[in-house]
Amino acid sequence: MRAYAGYSMPQRKWIRRYQITIQTPEGVQFLIEPPISVSFEISRNALADANDMSLSIYNLARSTRNSLFKDRYSLIEYWQIVVKAGYDRLFTVFRGNIQESQSYRDGTNWITELQCYDGMHSIQNGQSDVSFSGETPYEDIVRGLISDFPTLNAGAIGSPAEGESVRGSAYSGSTSQILDAIVDGNYFIDLEELHILARDEILTDQVYVLDERQLFATPSRRDTFIDVEILFYPEVQIGRMCELRSTERVYNGQYKVVGLTHNVEIRGDVAGNAVTELQLDAGTQAFREVTQ
């Protein structure tokens, strides 16, 4: 087992905070903060598809509600949304595009519901028309493809992009489909960054250390995957290492974070949910670090 400088969950002040920033295609910005109540469910993973978030905002002003309306079929329009949340410190827990937004009345409350995706806008709108000669490094090729995505930045580039092309090639069409073919699906989008990693590769950064004090229940195992339920943990990021220190020692070890779900309510009138579910992968061999 590799030794890391661990990052343990700090002592919480137990007061949940958030900050939501929305920018319309016209450049108009909205900042939403407490005491406005919100609830959200965010799912992020290390798969070659789009992360998603369902967000409910309570009792916005009528003018703001009307300004935030968005039709789900407006696929070209990019409405960036950034959600930060935490306790004494805020962390980015979602960054992406609003796919659909609508408001309705429920009793005395006006609720604005937003369905958002991280990476979907680029997957739907990224187009490439490229050609390259033989002996072109694959890293150069994939970086060029990533630049064709309208709203994504390049993250870590690992072993699936090693080596160089044997012969010249030309591609025209969906950028995501071209990239998928070149790296055999070994990429994922998280917080509008595209990472190319093999299963046994991790992002270099802090290692999250979880012990029995943070666990809501005994971890459960499926093949090489461990599912863990803990108190809302906004620091955790996809593709990094997590060290599990449970009383069930059979599950203890170091794993790659390959999936997470945040289910959180930040409302003045109810205690509400504040749960993070992690999917951890033991991999098939020792993990290798990849820098960005």
Task: Give the span between the Cα atoms of 290 and 292, in whole angstroms.
Answer: 7
Domain 6-121+202-290: CATH architecture, name and number where available: Roll (2.30)
Helices and strands, counts by H and E, the chain:
4, 21
pLDDT given for residue 174 in this prediction: 96
Q: Which residue has the higher pLDDT, 270 or 63?
A: 63
The single-letter DSSP state of residue 30 is E
Q: Where are the domains of the chain?
A: 6-121+202-290, 125-200
- Which backbone phi and psi does 224 adopt, to 5 degrees? -95, 10
β-strand pairing of 274-281 with 225-231 = antiparallel
- pLDDT, one tens digit per residue, over 94-151 is 999 999 999 999 999 999 999 999 999 999 999 999 898 889 999 999 999 999 999 9
At residue 62, the pLDDT reads 95
CA distance 123 to 105: 33
How far apart (Å, rounded) are the C-alpha atoms in residues 45 and 260?
Answer: 6
Q: Is the pTM of this model over 0.75?
A: yes
Provide the pLDDT for residue 1: 40
**pLDDT digits 0-9 by tens, 172-185:** 999 999 999 999 99
Q: Reply yes or no on whether the pLDDT at 75 is more than 70.
A: yes
Q: Does residue 35 have a cis peptide bond before it, meaning omega lies within 30 degrees of 0?
A: yes
Lowest mean pLDDT among 77-81, 157-161, 269-273: 269-273
> Is 267 a residue whose pLDDT tops 60?
yes
Farthest CA pair distance, the chain: 66
Closest alpha carbon to 22 in 76, 73, 83: 83
CB atoms within 10 A of CB 61: 10
pLDDT digits (tens, 9 = 90+) for 2-52: 444 344 444 445 689 999 999 999 999 999 999 999 999 999 999 867 899
What is the reported pLDDT for 10? 47
Q: How confident is the model at residue 269 (pLDDT cuts 50, 70, 90)?
A: low
Render pLDDT for 209-263 as a digit per residue (tens, 0 to 9): 988 788 888 888 888 889 999 999 999 999 999 998 877 788 888 999 999 999 9
Rama region for 240: left / alpha / beta (φ>0; ψ in -120 to 50; rest): beta
